[in-house]
Every structure is written in structure tokens, then in C-alpha cells.
């Protein structure tokens, strides 16, 4: 026991200060891709579209007009588009992409005769620092107790589960915000759902949602939960979580890092007003 205590004192605090301080991703981290539509050539964008495994980049043409769309809900941040067209597409390190409105995960541009005519920008997001400061106050004001979370795997590859499990370790320490994971949806205030909803899990997810008492929140974690991701919709998959139950917050990524999931949870807390 004394050895454990000595080692603990020598190690010191390991919990990261995020979200009170910004977090810098490690070298090589791939965040959201950004298309410079002012530079982008339509024909070269078609090459980027062809290599995208989830069709996060899509181009629709009607006569002389073409619309290029980039969906972060479907993007798995693989970087293939940037490799195919590095002159106009770049991978950033931005990971705080959680949003309460799915349309915020879509950026598009219109091309006329092969030249960019209009770029539709994404709406601005709430400040993460403000969300972090308000988290405890919101939890106690709305729920009068700690927020309880039930994680539901609706058919994922377990990549998102690894990142969610990390939230409980000393580095991320989710419980410092008064947030706790529970075993039963009847004790939960929030459902954290991962994976595309498989046909076999559709009824189970609906029953879990119905068993969760009101008021309740649903957070879709990862590209699969947001849109179906790499699996899409098929005979075995319903696609995104919002095809089965209402979703309050979407967290894109494949998988999203623990800080991105924490950002989404904080955003969800701020949404219940």
C-alpha cells in the first residue's frame, strides 16, 4: 500500500486540463478535411469524389451547374481526398465538430461552367470554454444531481467504444464533471450511441430509448452513428441513429478522440434549457 501511495505522489496529476485549456492533437492526427473551393477545379474534385470510401464528397450536375458537397457526418477522416487533390484539399487537426444540428456538418459549393459561383459556409458553434464553465451548473440546475450516461453499441466495430472507455481513465476523468456511466437505461439521463443501427439492434435501441426516463438526451458518436459511415444503409443496417430514435447531438469522426466526445457531451448539456 505504501509503495502504491509513493508512486502516486511521484507521478502527480495526469488529468489533462481540457476543456478549460485547448488541446493540441499529436503529430500525424487527421482532423476534418477542408476544401478551398476558390482554388478547386471541378474535374479534379471528381477524382477526390471517386476515392472517398463513404461518399462524404459528392457532386451533382444539372446542365451547366454542379453542386459539390462535403459531409462531415459521413467523413471518416482517412485523408484519401487530400492525397488525391492536395492543391485544394487539406487535412486539419480540428476535432471539435459536435453539433446539435446535422446540417452544420454539411458544406457545399455551386459551380457554373466549371467555376465556383457560391460557397455555403457552416454556421458558427458555441464556445467550448463557455460550455465547460456552464457544465456543472447546467447539470445541477436541470437534473439536480449528477448526469448519468448509458452507452449503447448499436452495431459498431468497437473503435468508438475504446475512445469512450478512455473517458473513465485518470487522463480524461469524465467524473470530474459529475458525469457517470450506468448499467441500466432506467438510471440514465443520456444515451451515448455508437455504430450504424443494425437490423438486429433496431428494436433493442428503441426499447432502450423508451426505458430512459424524461428528460433524456441522445448523442450519436462517430461517423457510423451520424450517417451510417462506412457501412451505410443495407439489408443489415438502418444507417444513422436518427433513422431510429431522435438525436440531440452528433459527434463525427472514425472514431472521434476522447476530447471530441467530451466536447459533444458538454454541448448536449448546454442544449437542455
Structural element, H or E, at residue 241: none
Residue 103 neighbours by CB under 8 Å, 6+ apart: none
Q: Say whether both 112 and 150 belong to one domain.
A: no
**Rounded percentage of the chain residues whose pLDDT exceeds 90:** 54
Q: Is residue 132 part of a domain?
A: yes
Co-location of 135 and 100 in the same domain? no
Quick one: pLDDT at residue 254? 93
Mean pLDDT over residues 77-93, rounded? 93
Residues 135 and 228 in one domain: yes
Choose among 210, 232, 57, 225: nearest CA to 156.
225
For the stretch 42-73, pLDDT in tens is 899 999 999 999 999 999 998 888 899 999 99
pLDDT of residue 112: 85
Tell whether 142 and 160 lie within a shared domain. Answer: yes
Q: Tell me what the mean pLDDT of segment 236-243 comes to.
A: 91
In terms of pLDDT, which residue wins out, 147 or 34?
A: 34
| Whether residue 165 sits in one domain with residue 252 | yes
pLDDT tens by residue, 213-236: 988 899 999 999 999 988 988 889
Question: What is the C-alpha separation between 102 and 247, in angstroms, rounded?
Answer: 9
140 and 223 together in one domain: yes
pTM reported for the whole predicted model: 0.86
pLDDT at residue 123, rounded to an integer: 55
Using a CB cutoff of 8 Å and minimum separation of 24, what contacts does 90-94 make?
90/33, 90/34, 90/36, 91/30, 91/31, 91/32, 91/33, 91/34, 92/31, 92/32, 92/33, 92/34, 93/24, 93/25, 93/29, 93/30, 93/31, 94/31, 94/32
CA–CA separation, 63 and 146 (whole Å) = 56
Top-confidence range, 20-29, 58-67, 198-207: 198-207
Confidence (pLDDT) at 273:
43
Say if residue 168 is in the same domain as residue 116: no
Name the band, by pLDDT with cuts 50, 70 and 90, for residue 268. confident
The pLDDT value given to residue 20: 80
User: Is residue 146, in this structure, part of any structural domain at all?
Assistant: yes
Contact 195, 153 (CB under 8 A): yes
Q: How many domains would you assign to the chain?
A: 2
Q: Clarify whether residues 147 and 265 are in a common domain.
A: yes
- 181 shares a domain with 115: no
Q: Which three cell numbers stand for residue 252?
A: 463525427
134, 115: one domain? no
Beta bridge partners of 179: 147
Domain that holds residue 93: 33-120
Indicate the range of 15-29, 176-190, 199-213, 232-246 predicted with least confidence: 15-29
110 and 218 belong to one structural domain: no
In terms of domains, do 56 and 151 share one? no
Q: How confident is the model at residue 30 (pLDDT cuts 50, 70, 90)?
A: very high
The answer to whether 212 touches 186, Cβ cutoff 8 Å, is: yes
Ranking 74-83, 132-141, 223-232, 263-272 by mean pLDDT, the lowest is 132-141
Amino acid at each position: 500500500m505504501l509503495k502504491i501511495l509513493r508512486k502516486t505522489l511521484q507521478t502527480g496529476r495526469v488529468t489533462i486540463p481540457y476543456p478549460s485549456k485547448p488541446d493540441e492533437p499529436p503529430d500525424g492526427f487527421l482532423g476534418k478535411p477542408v476544401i478551398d473551393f476558390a482554388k478547386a477545379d471541378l474535374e479534379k474534385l471528381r477524382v477526390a469524389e471517386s476515392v472517398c470510401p463513404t461518399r462524404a464528397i459528392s457532386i451533382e450536375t444539372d446542365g451547366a451547374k454542379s453542386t459539390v458537397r462535403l459531409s462531415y457526418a459521413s467523413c471518416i477522416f482517412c485523408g484519401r481526398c487530400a492525397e488525391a487533390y492536395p492543391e485544394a484539399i487539406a487535412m486539419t487537426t480540428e476535432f471539435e465538430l459536435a453539433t446539435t444540428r446535422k446540417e452544420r456538418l454539411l458544406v457545399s459549393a455551386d459551380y457554373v461552367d466549371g467555376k465556383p459561383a457560391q460557397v455555403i459556409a457552416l454556421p458558427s458553434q458555441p464556445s467550448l470554454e463557455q460550455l465547460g464553465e456552464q457544465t456543472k451548473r447546467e447539470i445541477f440546475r436541470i437534473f439536480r444531481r449528477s448526469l448519468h450516461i448509458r452507452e449503447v453499441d448499436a452495431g459498431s466495430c468497437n473503435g468508438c467504444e475504446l475512445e469512450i472507455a478512455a473517458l473513465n481513465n485518470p487522463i480524461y476523468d469524465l467524473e470530474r464533471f459529475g458525469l457517470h456511466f450506468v448499467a441500466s437505461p432506467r438510471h440514465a439521463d443520456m444515451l451515448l450511441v455508437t455504430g450504424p443501427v443494425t437490423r438486429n439492434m433496431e428494436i433493442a435501441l428503441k426499447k432502450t430509448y423508451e426505458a430512459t426516463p424524461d428528460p433524456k438526451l441522445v448523442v450519436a458518436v462517430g461517423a457510423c452513428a451520424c450517417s451510417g459511415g462506412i457501412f451505410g444503409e443495407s439489408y443489415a443496417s438502418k444507417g444513422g441513429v436518427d433513422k431510429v430514435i431522435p438525436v440531440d447531438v452528433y459527434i463525427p469522426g472514425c472514431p472521434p478522440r476522447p476530447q471530441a466526445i467530451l466536447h459533444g457531451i458538454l454541448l448536449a448539456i448546454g442544449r437542455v434549457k
